[in-house]
Structure 1
């Protein structure tokens, strides 16, 4: 049975939970750990953090302490490339063990948070993360919860972990830059510097940059060359809009790759095109990438390097938040 008593009457009794202190010097942390036996000298310190009364006693058989409620599900929350902290102040943190792409099972995350007392918050799915980055914070709201809530969480998590980090892979990349105006030297190419910068963030073995006129056959031929060199990704630039002389989308279709999407609900980068030819991804990058620091290309390039199996719905769900 749990009862509320004056702190002066708690001498000799163990604390039921961690007590957090927020000091004038900016310190915020654990002043007393769960299980600490209260001494006379502790009374003033507890009062200084606003604890004139504390809870003492033992939980009922169907009640689970906040720390135990998190500890019992902690290792079920995450999969590969994530590590967890010890429980402190009733919560745990999950951090990344590698540089990669943070992914979430949103359905399971919602189910856990719908139980009642569990609150689990995290970075957005498909965020690029570095080793050591904090990804998730998990705790329950009250000091204790009912046993059924813990068992409900365990049952949900049998479906699989909620969180994973997919380590970025080394990929072979070919780049095809099209446009008569660039090929014939009428204007200076602006795409290669952009692609170099974006690919430099990953372990990319660039097979080369092919500059081509607006000729579908030549574009397809260049693609086949890169494919023959073992390319995992081929990037196409130039002529991605709906103008009659924009041949790049037609050339991508001429490769007989399976088109996943052509045009997505994001701006800038509305005209992004993505296709797959066996183990090779083809990405047609719109001209917005030259002028805008962040476009749709920046959201999906990391997914390719993380080995995510891209589907049409992945692009459609970007409508909310896709106005960059």
Structure 2
């Protein structure tokens, strides 16, 4: 049975939960851990923390302490390349074990948060993460919950497993094709190559070559075939991405026989991004906005490509919410 008693009457009894606070020293966090046996010298400290009363006793058999309720599901939440922190203040964190991209089972996350007492606060789906980054903070709202809620959470976590996983970045061989008569003839200076090299520098990219092509489908095809012969994993096309009749890049990607994943994203800047999959090789047409805008749709696609996450049209369509960059 749980009892709420005056703090001075609790000497010799164990605390039922962590006591947190901010001390004059500047410390902020757990001051007394769950099951701490209250001593006489603790009474004034507890009162300074606003604890004129504390909870002692034990839970009924159908009640589960907040920490235990989280601990029972932690291994069911984490997929590959994720570890967990120690439980503290009734909370536990999921931590990235490597650099990569976080992938969530969004429906599973939603169902977990619908249970009632459980709360899982996470980074956004497909967020690039670094080793050691916190991915999710999980806890229950009250100090204890019912066994029924815990079992429901466990069943959901098993059903949607893994709700969280991190895909590590992979080494990719990259070819770059820069199109446009004006660049090919030297009429204007190309600005794409420098931008792309800077963006690729954040990943394990082996740039095979950078080839410039006129607005000629046959020449673009020849450049593509060259990179395919060199076993490129990713081929980036620049220029010719608008809707003008002489903008040929999307046509070149389609003519390659690639399965078109998406042409045009609900993201600005970078609306005209085009992605195809040619037998596992990713072909991506990059809009001109990438040259002058610091963040575009390309910056959201690139981490997923290097993490070798399966690219799906519906995932890119969901980017419309928050897609006005």
Q: TM-score, normalised by structure 1?
A: 0.99
| Partner in structure 2 of residue 106 of structure 1 | 106
Q: Secondary structure at the match of 1:76?
A: helix
Deviation at 1:26, TM superposition (A): 2.9
Where do 5+ consecutive residues of structure 1 fail to align? none
Between the aligned partners of 1:112 and 1:253, the Cα distance in structure 2 is: 41
2:17 paired residue number: 17
**Shift of residue 92, structure 1, vs aligned partner:** 0.6
1:89 is paired with a residue whose SS is coil
Moved more, 136-145 or 257-266: 257-266
Does residue 89 of structure 1 match 2:92?
no
Q: Does residue 213 in structure 1 map to residue 214 in structure 2?
A: yes
Residue 188 (structure 1) shift: 0.3
TM-superposed CA distance for 1:281, in Å, is 0.6
Instruction: Spell out, residue by residue over 1:167-222, the C-alpha distance to the aligned partner (whole angstroms, 9 max, x if none).
Output: 00000110000000001011000000011001001000111100111110010111
CA distance in 1, matches of 2:59, 2:94: 28
1 CA distance for matches of 2:218 and 2:170?
31
The 2-side partners of 1:261 and 1:79 are apart by 28
Q: CA deviation at 1:23?
A: 2.1
Q: Distance in 2 between matches of 1:314 and 1:109?
A: 16
- Equivalent residues in 2 for 1:274-313 (5 A)? 274-313=275-314
- Once the two structures are superposed, the pairs formed by residues 1-324 of structure 1 within 5 Å of their partners are 1-159=1-159, 160-324=161-325
- Cα drift, residue 86 of structure 1: 1.2
Cα displacement string for residues 16-56 of structure 1 (whole angstroms, at most 9, x for unaligned residues): 01111212443211111111111111100000000000111
Deviations, residues 218-253 of structure 1 (Å, cap 9, x unaligned): 101110110111111100001100111111111111
Q: Distance in 1 between matches of 2:23 and 2:8?
A: 22
Name the count of aligned residue pairs.
324
- Using the alignment, how far apart are the partners of 1:134 and 1:315 within structure 2? 24
Return the alpha-carbon distance in structure 2 between the equivalents of residues 239 and 25 of structure 1. 62
Deviation of the 1:259 alpha carbon:
1.2
Deviates more, 1:172-181 or 1:312-321: 312-321
Paired residue secondary structure (1:101): strand
Measure, in 1, the Cα distance between the counterparts of 2:68 and 2:186: 68
Q: CA deviation at 1:68?
A: 0.4
Any unmatched runs of 5+ in structure 2?
Answer: none
DSSP-derived class of the 1:38 partner: coil
- Equivalent-residue separation in structure 1 for 2:234 and 2:189 (angstroms): 25
Q: Distance in 1 between matches of 2:188 and 2:232?
A: 29
3-state DSSP of counterpart to 1:173: strand
Query: CA separation in 2, counterparts of 1:63 and 1:53?
Result: 21
TM-score of the two chains, using structure 2 as the length reference: 0.98
